[in-house]
Amino acid sequence: MGKGDIKTRRGKIFNGSYGKTRPQKKTVEKIVEKVKSKPKSKPKKK
């Protein structure tokens, strides 16, 4: 139960590996919705 134990979190950090006890952070995809701008209306004549 230390740096040499690959099954523990500390051992995985020391070894530089990932697994059940040390999951990797998932990258979150940004969902960007393009807002359609309304066409500018022409100025009304007086």
Residue 18, pLDDT score? 92
In order along its 46 residues, the chain shows pLDDT tens digits of 889 999 999 999 999 999 998 889 888 887 777 777 777 777 777 7
Inside any domain, residue 45: no
Query: Does residue 20 lie in a domain region?
Result: yes
User: Is 46 within the bounds of a domain?
Assistant: no
Distance CA 2, CA 4 (A): 5
Q: Give domain status of residue 43, yes or no.
A: no
Tell whether 23 is covered by a domain. Answer: yes
Query: Is the CB of residue 6 less than 8 Å from the CB of residue 12?
Result: yes
Domain annotation covers residue 41:
no
The answer to the question of residue 1 being in a domain is yes
Give the total number of structural domains in the chain: 1
Rg (CA), the chain: 27
Instruction: Assess if residue 9 is contained within a domain.
Output: yes
Question: What is the domain extent for residue 7?
Answer: 1-36
- Going by C-beta distance under 8 Å and a sequence separation of 6 or more, which residues neighbour residue 22? 9, 12, 13
